[in-house]
Amino acid sequence: MAERPISTLNKPDVVLELTLRPSLFSDFTGQAKVKERLEIAVAAAKQRGEALDHILLSGPPGLGKTTLAYIIAKAMGTNLKSTSGPIIEKAGDLAGLLTNLDEGDVLFIDEIHRLQKTIEEYLYPAMEDFKLDIIIDQGPNARSVRLNLPRFTLIGATTRSGLLTAPLLTRFAVRERLDYYHAAQLQEIVVRSARLLNVEIEPDGAHEIARRSRGTPRIANNLLRRVRDYAQVRHDGRITATVADKALAMLEIDQNGLDEMDKRILEAIIVKFGGGPVGVNSLGVTVGEEPDTIEDVYEPYLIKEGYLNRTSQGRVATELGFKKLGLKSTADSQPRLL
């Protein structure tokens, strides 16, 4: 079964990201305040000759959390070792990662909110005291061994910071949230990426891609690649506004950056559930998508653009959501009580 367009576009392409990922703060577009605070933290740590404080980067997927981690490590002149929360299945996995770090190294844990709670507890003394307590053997022969760790920097990335426990959250001295990008910022990113990919693109073509990229650089870069293919096969290879518009229409991405799944979600809430409220699990079953994917990928943008609201009872379509589908809000048709 073919993957839906935005699901594919929101997934990181390892080769593409390595090609297009900026390696310096000066090359990183957007997130100006976050970037400034991180630059100051890095400069201060280097002047003192110390390891950088632990950092938590949060925000929707595709906004540059991993990229910033690599930029920070390079700016500090240290190595970065990368892993992901779900990959660390037992304490021995974490111990192996921590004991192989050198002084000042950066350990990057993506999706840190998915770290098992039993594993998370081993991180507390490691982050605070740079010591690791591990249990050897089992039963009567079990004994605790304390290992000294080099002073390192843990950079955690999460799309759902609310799932982090308070003890872990408070151990991050630096906490930064990345927000969606403006179209002008994404246009700069598209132009830079096109240059690196040797793609000829006009400013209007770059703007057309940027404004339909849901405020996300990863989607902008992936859309650029898809539009490049269309321009190469159907036109002369040059991306103009007209070419970009035709390519994006073929991908079923509308003028507001909404794709087929976005509209299916809105249609399900409005038509099948009377505008809501509806729980995310029921919504996931209705549209044939995982609840986590709806919460992490689709919902944030729909909420940001004002198409739906998340309430304590469930998801509710807004008046703008009704208008998007050309339907009349049920609230408008109901008599008001005086």
Q: Pick the catalytic residue: 159, 216, 240, 318?
A: 159
Among residues 128, 160, 126, which one has the least CA distance to residue 57? 160
Residue recorded with tokens 């998801």 = 315
Residue 159 annotated to the active site: yes
Cα-to-chain-centroid distance, residue 156? 12
CA atoms lying within 13 Å on the CB side of residue 252: 11
Q: Pick the catalytic residue: 65, 211, 214, 324?
A: 65
Locate the DSSP E strands across the chain.
Answer: 55-58, 80-84, 106-110, 131-136, 143-148, 153-158, 174-177, 308-310, 315-317
Residue 53 annotated to the active site: no
Residue 66 annotated to the active site: yes
- 45 neighbors 51 (Cβ within 8 angstroms): yes
CA distance readout (Å), 217 to 190, 220, 267: 8, 5, 27
Q: Length of the chain, please? A: 338
Q: Pick the catalytic residue: 29, 35, 66, 228?
A: 66
Alpha carbon distance 302, 239 (integer Å)? 28
Q: Pick the catalytic residue: 35, 218, 228, 324?
A: 218
Alpha carbon distance 333, 160 (integer Å)? 37
Catalytic residue set: 65-66, 110, 159, 218
